[in-house]
Amino acid sequence: MSPVGVTLIIVSSPVIVASELVKRYGGVTAVGGISFEVAPGESFGLLGPNGAGKSTTMRMVGAVSTRTSGRLTILGLDPDHDGPEIRAQLGVVPQADNLDEELRVRENLMVYGRYFGLPMSYVRRKADDLLAFAQLQDKAKSKVTDLSGGMKRRLTIARGLMNDPRILLLDEPTTGLDPQARHILWDRLFRLKEQGTTLVLTTHYMDEAEQLCDRLIVVDKGVIMAEGTPASLIREYSTREVLELRFGADRNAEMAESLSGSGDRVEALPDRVLVYTADGEGELARLTEAGIRPLTSLVRRSSLEDVFLRLTGRSLIE
């Protein structure tokens, strides 16, 4: 897969080009000059905490929100002039569901398909296909308000696919879902990715970014902190393993002091102390030998959460 993917990135021009993209609301800068490109077929992520400017960026890329300054082309078109032409080729899954609660499940898809100028006979068939894809066939006639959170999200994704979009934009697709619902959703998104749909998603879940993104940018306070594949970001900004030690809420900070020098780096969080090291077990053994007695200890692999902590000094989810 990867050699082919690389070739594609080289031969085909990017579907999204953002350069020095800025969005200000009055005196508040939501997006402070971010630049990135997305290649066709790529799965691209924006990772960052709430309020980082991810949603605003997505709304600009979605040709809905107008940019304050900077250059932005989607599928070679400028959203300021060709909004409808761009939106005709996008699928959008917003952070907050905005399905029409006064319509039934299948009607929601049909009505939405009509907005793309698709004939009624076509939207009927397409709606049925997508209900199957979203595993909602037996809910076709249900009220939207009777669906679970996960079902609503799947319906929203199905709605975003009514026009066979070239790019699917997903803003926090699994926020608020239980683990099982998230896995079902990820599986559907994987299938789309395999079919060659370009995915652009925002998330503040590092596991989601690791699962779904070929490449991502880490965004904080409206600017890009780092860019790369999940693996390369972890390699660059973290160690292979992390040793998590808990000494009790009142002792963590103090113990972190005395641990400085252990591993590559020590990070004190309110509930635990993180020791970054290539060899977690080895480090734990050394500390035990030195008489350090944590209440609990855990060795795990580094994740994007650690990358984010390193880059910003803060956790992703606060």
Partner 1 sequence: MTAIQTRVLDASPSAAKARRFGAWYVAEHRLRVMRSYVSTVVIGAIGTPLLYLIAMGVGLGHLVGSTPIDGVSYLQFVAPALMCSAAVTVASEEFTYPVLSGFKWNPTFIGISSSPITPGQIIDGMVISVIVRAFVTSVIYWVIILFFGAMTVGVSALSVIVATLVGLAFGIPIMTYIATLERDTGQIAMVMRLVLLPLTLFSGTFFPLTSMPVYLQWIGWISPIWHGTQLARVLAYGAQVPGWLIVVHVLFLLALIVPFWWLSRRIAKRRLTA
Q: Is 69 in the site for partner 1 (CB under 8 A)?
A: no
Minimum Å gap between C-beta 18 and partner 1 is 18
Q: Is 94 in the site for partner 1 (CB under 8 A)?
A: yes
Q: Is 66 in the site for partner 1 (CB under 8 A)?
A: yes
Q: Nearer to partner 1 by C-beta: 10 or 318?
A: 10
DSSP helix/strand/coil, 64: coil
Choose, by CB under 8 A, the member of 89, 135, 142, 175 that binds partner 1. 89
Rounded CA-CA distance 181/284 in Å is 36
Q: Is 44 in the site for partner 1 (CB under 8 A)?
A: no
Rounded CA-CA distance 253/237 in Å is 23
Q: Which residue stretches of the chain are H helix? A: 2-11, 54-61, 79-87, 105-114, 120-133, 149-160, 179-194, 206-212, 230-237, 252-259, 280-289, 304-312
Q: Is 201 in the site for partner 1 (CB under 8 A)?
A: no
Q: Nearer to partner 1 by C-beta: 122 or 186?
A: 122
The half-sphere exposure of 137 on its side-chain side, counting CA atoms within 13 A, is 6
Closest CA to 273 of 250, 255, 288: 255
Q: Nearer to partner 1 by C-beta: 75 or 304?
A: 75
String marking each residue 253-292 x if it binds partner 1 according to CB under 8 A: ----------------------------------------
Is residue 240 within 8 Å of residue 233, measured between CB atoms? no
Which tokens sit at 63? 């040709």
Minimum Å gap between C-beta 211 and partner 1 is 21
Q: Which are the contacts of 276, defined by CB distance < 8 A and separation ≥ 6?
A: 238, 239, 241, 242, 263, 264, 265, 266, 267, 302, 306
Choose, by CB under 8 A, the member of 85, 207, 227, 279 that binds partner 1. 85
Q: Is 75 in the site for partner 1 (CB under 8 A)?
A: yes
Binding residues for partner 1, rule CB under 8 A, total 43
Which of these segments, 91-99, 127-135, 220-228, 301-309, binds partner 1 (CB under 8 A)? 91-99
Which of these segments, 116-124, 134-142, 261-269, 295-303, binds partner 1 (CB under 8 A)? 116-124
Helix (H) or strand (E) holding 291: none
Q: Is 140 in the site for partner 1 (CB under 8 A)?
A: no
